[in-house]
């Protein structure tokens, strides 16, 4: 029996989905900035995400936006964000 090969970035994405209890939209606003895999939570390199989605997504890679009192801090509701 062959085990299907998975790319490391796809495994990171699966780990993030598992960490966020299966809520894919919650990954975008993950506040665990100390996690080693935080910048790779989309399953792609940050520059690839920015090229595909545009410059407005740059703020999703700024850890300061996810700290307490920041733009996407955990105390705010995810539904408020329009990205």
Q: What pLDDT is recorded for position 2?
A: 72
Token code pair at residue 13: 């994405």
List the chain domain ranges: 8-72
Q: Coil, strand or helix: which one is 65?
A: helix
- For every residue of 1-45, DSSP letters joined together read -PPPP--HHHHHHHHHHHHTTT-HHHHHT---TTSTTGGGTTSS-
Token code pair at residue 11: 């495994």
Query: How does pLDDT run along the chain (83 residues), one tens digit per residue?
Result: 676 666 889 999 999 999 999 998 889 999 899 999 999 999 999 999 999 998 889 999 999 999 888 888 877 776 666 66
Task: Give the chain's largest Cα–Cα span.
Answer: 51
């Amino acid at each position: 029996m062959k085990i299907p090969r998975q790319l490391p970035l796809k495994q990171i994405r699966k780990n993030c989905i598992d960490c966020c209890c299966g809520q894919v939209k919650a990954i975008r606003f993950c506040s665990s900035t100390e996690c080693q895999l935080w910048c790779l939570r989309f399953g792609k390199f940050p520059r690839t995400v920015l090229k595909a989605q545009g410059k407005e997504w740059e703020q999703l890679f700024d850890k300061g936006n996810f700290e307490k009192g920041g733009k996407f801090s955990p105390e705010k509701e995810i539904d408020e964000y329009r990205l």
